[in-house]
Structure 1
Amino acid sequence: MLFIIKMLARFSLVFMLAGLLTLFSACDNKIDSEPVQPATPTEKRILISGSSSVMPLLKSLSHEFLKDNSDIEIVFLPDARSDAGIAGVVEGQYDIGAVSREMFFEEKSDDLQYLHLAIDGMVMATNSGIKIASLSRALIRDIYAGKITNWAQVGGPDGKISVIDRPEYSSAKISFRATFLDDDFKVAADSVPLERHWQVIDSIQMIPFSIGYTSLGEIIRENPKLNIAAVNRISPTPENLKKGRYAFFRPFGLVLKADPKVEIMRFLNFIFSEKGATIISRSGYLPQRYEILVGVVPERNVIVQEQRYQPLINYLSQRLGKGFSVKLKLLPSYLDVCKGLVAGDLAAAFIDSLAYVAVQKHVNVLVRPEFNGKSSYKGLIFTRQDSGIENLSQMRGKHLVMGGGITTAGYLFPNYFFPHEGFGSLADFFSETSVLGTHEDAIMAVYNRSADVGSAKALVFDMVARENPALKDKMNILVQSSPLPSNVFVLRKNLKNSCFECHHRISRDPVDSRTGCFRAGLGGMLKSYLLNIHENPEGREALAAMLNTDRFIEALPSDYTKLTEMLTELNLDPEDLLLVH
């Protein structure tokens, strides 16, 4: 307590601040001293704890949910922090952990899933006596750095600025630092960090010349007497958040086990329903749909690949319903996609067959495309016709470029082919080998004489050649592989049980009578929609954009056994492919 009072003495109004913190401490002690009955998870009981910022919203949602679900008990344990909410789920103490930030890398695992609940706008607030309409990013930085110490320096009244901050571990500070500061930025030594959002609001109201930041949801719900400042002349409103104009916010999320029990799924159904979204909006937050981030690699270039896949992404969003948001994320290489799937940053991806083998422990294969009745492609090894290389032996001592990173045609095929034909390893046979980002990169490197020999996917080679007839005339294909399985659509394994009844009303979908949920889960839904996409007019348009794909066919792990055997013959562990650069 003495430590807190000493910190508050840094403000000009020592006694007022000390009194406020005494009150805060007393309130916290009163809450902590109340006897808490031990709670244990049961089939009909849902235990929730975590971020104190998220808990009021969850209580509002549960209040409405329980009106029609009286057979379920929802128990809110004492508020904690986001990290405690996650740890509680891991240890089995909570069914749902409330978090007000993104999960850190070390917190993610295949046993957990994260659901994006809402966006909480953050606001810069001053005491009501400070009539500052807008603060620039630079001004906010200077105030928190201690470079600007009096409101008179920025056109306000003559008064020393009292800077209220949050602890570094708090989600509010993480968001504040990410938006306005950098990792090395040092906040003024006389600033005072306060633990709870309500402490910040109360302090700013009572301390003249003070400034701080807090939750927009809290401001809308409590309507305190504060001056809310715009940032760079953009007001902190739900509408500006929704349109992406206002950039100071933090995510609200839910962490739960990958295989939640029925009662939790029923509560999630409600949260992500239209009624749940209305409650979230009315509470001052921006409701979020369940986001499915699909990773794609530009086999040629970013613009072409986005045009190729975006219609399919739009189709899946429409079929899954309003509670889902399917988004496309273009990444530089299959290595980046694989790492994103392993880390949980991606929910799904279209990946090369070799990339699938590298991450098969973390994903399920769903479907692969079929072109002209075939779901395969070939790898090529090629040179320029004027290179003087007319056979494989003449490639010795040359520079080989492999296209696409972790790809079957660009990487595995040459690594397997040359030793298998008696030429030894690539390192012994070639003077230099390079792994390039896309198949087109490898093709153009040989065409432009940056390399002597290239390996790439035949489909991409044909596309580039059609657009550039001169290239086709000047290139010489010396080797073609046997057919290789087409790129595959995969889904992370820990997403298979995500389930919301509002998305499963299509009569042909098998539904669980207990929950109203699609029995096969999210993976089953996506697989069903993709396998039947050619029967739908909008689906056929999406297929046409994907290089006139005929349809999708079911993919099975056994389709990739040959690739695993090739890796075994090369004495390569599939997971070691993630180390390829």
Structure 2
Amino acid sequence: MKWLKSITFTVIALAVAFGSVSAASAASKLSGKIVINGSSALLPLSLQAASEFKKLNPKVRISASAAGSVTGPQSVRKGIADIGACDWDASTDVPGFKKFDGQVANKVAVIPFAAVTNSNVKVDSLTTSQLQGIFSGKITNWKEVGGSDADIVVVNRAFGSGTRVNFQMKALVGTDFMTKGSNYKEVKSSGDMKTAIETTPNAIGYIDLVYVTSKMKAQKINNVAPTEANVINGSYKVWAYGYYMTKGQPTGATKAFIEYVQSKKFQNGSLKKLKFIPLSAMKK
């Protein structure tokens, strides 16, 4: 009986080993090149997912860059990107942007956005009305909203930014931004916004949570903090779905990569660690 058990164990072990090798071999057969362009809010997610996916599929090459959400579907339309990362569903019309015909919106993440100030600002919460006044240029000094006597420096994202689209729609309820002035700055990406807020005293801007650092302050809006729990329970409204836009339904390596980003492993692992919210956490 001992020798029978030994043989049985050996057979099972070999079966498991060959099964693992077979699975790895099958995964490694996937090949191709994936080019991602668009949203800088989604860039940390794209880079992390690319790193993990390439370890599982070493024959797949992935490059990711960001120049604002609108460049994502534009790049897909021009044929220079396989995936257009975008902070809105670019297959439909949104304020300021017409839909991109023929493109499919693949939902990949929930993105919480926050109004952020330099760490020296002595304000912790702003109302919708106060945010509208600040970003439109009607409120110009922090003392008008309970802070110190100091001029407010408004930092805005350039036109074409998905973060800008969502912040204007949801935090400002459609109120127009100011566009010029001695205390007005405009930046091209989330990374540029992060640097500007960290290094500019009395500055205010907006960014997604993945970029928030100890050198800035994420403001409560109407006394509600921009947290995962508050997004999920519906009390914090300034968030959006992030999308990977593709020309028609994705195929091949592109399809496999998107499915990896949408998988429970990535959604509940790296995606959450980056301060995005899993798709499954939101009510349908």
- What residue is the counterpart of 1:49 in the other structure? 37
CA contact (8 A) 1:176 1:248 kept: yes
Q: State whether residues 51 and 81 of structure 1, in contact with CA within 8 Å, keep that contact through their aligned partners in structure 2.
A: yes
Matched, 1:131 2:122: yes
Where do residues 408-419 of structure 1 align in structure 2 (5 Å cutoff)? none
Note the C-alpha offset of 1:60: 0.1
Of 91, 99, 102 in structure 2, the residue corresponding to residue 107 of structure 1 is 99
Secondary structure of 1:57's aligned partner: helix
CA distance in 1, matches of 2:31, 2:220: 47
C-alpha distance in structure 1 between counterparts of 2:131 and 2:186, whole Å: 16
Query: Measured at CA, do residues 165 and 280 of structure 1 come closer, stay the same or move farther in structure 2, by a change above 3 Å?
Result: same
**Counterpart position of 2:4:** none
Which of 84, 87, 90 in structure 2 is aligned with 1:97?
Answer: 84
SS of equivalent to 2:81: coil
Provide the residue aligned with 2:51 in structure 1.
Answer: 63
In 2, Cα distance between equivalents of 1:146 and 1:112:
37
| Secondary structure in structure 1 of the residue aligned to 2:201 | coil
- Structure 1 residues 115 and 157, CA gap change in structure 2 (3 angstroms): same
Identify the residue that residue 239 of structure 1 maps to in structure 2.
229
Distance 2:243 2:45 in 1: 11
Counterpart of 2:159 (choices 165, 168, 191) is 168
Is 1:87 aligned to 2:74, yes or no?
Answer: yes
- Contact 1:122–1:249 (Cα < 8 Å) also in 2: yes
Pick from 109, 121, 129 the counterpart of residue 118 of structure 1.
Answer: 109
Query: How many correspondences in the alignment?
Result: 247
| SS of residue matched to 1:82 | coil
Distance in 1, matches of 2:256 and 2:179, equals 47
Q: Mark the CA change 1:233 to 1:218 in structure 2 (over 3 Å): closer, same or farther.
A: same
* Residues 83 and 200 of structure 1: CA distance in aligned 2, closer, same or farther (over 3 Å): closer
Aligned to 1:272: 262
Residue 253 of structure 1: CA displacement? 0.7
Letter of the structure 2 residue corresponding to residue 107 of structure 1:
K
Q: Does the C-alpha gap of structure 1 residues 252 and 229 become closer, same or farther in structure 2, counting only changes over 3 Å?
A: same
Deviations 1:528-562 (A, max 9, x none): xxxxxxxxxxxxxxxxxxxxxxxxxxxxxxxxxxx
Per-residue CA deviation, residues 200-224 of structure 1 (Å, 9 max, x unaligned), is 22222222221111111211xxx24
Output the aligned Cα RMSD.
2.4
Alignment counterpart, residue 62 of structure 2, candidates 52, 74, 80: 74
Runs of 5+ consecutive residues of structure 2 not aligned to the other structure:
1-29
Cα displacement (A) at 1:251:
2.6
Q: Shift in Å at residue 225 of structure 1?
A: 0.9
Matched AA of 2:76: V
1:91, distance to aligned residue in structure 2 (A): 3.1
**Structure having the higher Rg:** 1
> 1:351-386: CA deviations, max 9, x gaps?
xxxxxxxxxxxxxxxxxxxxxxxxxxxxxxxxxxxx
* Deviation, structure 1 residue 172: 1.8
1:147 equivalent in alignment to 2:138: yes
Question: Whole-Å Cα distance in 2 between the matches of residues 283 and 203 of structure 1?
Answer: 21
1:254 CA drift (Å): 0.2
Aligned to 2:188: 195
State whether residues 166 and 195 of structure 1, in contact with CA within 8 Å, keep that contact through their aligned partners in structure 2.
yes
Cα 1:161–1:259 change in 2 (3 A) is closer
1:230 Cα deviation after fit: 0.4
- Calculate the TM-score normalised by the size of structure 2: 0.78
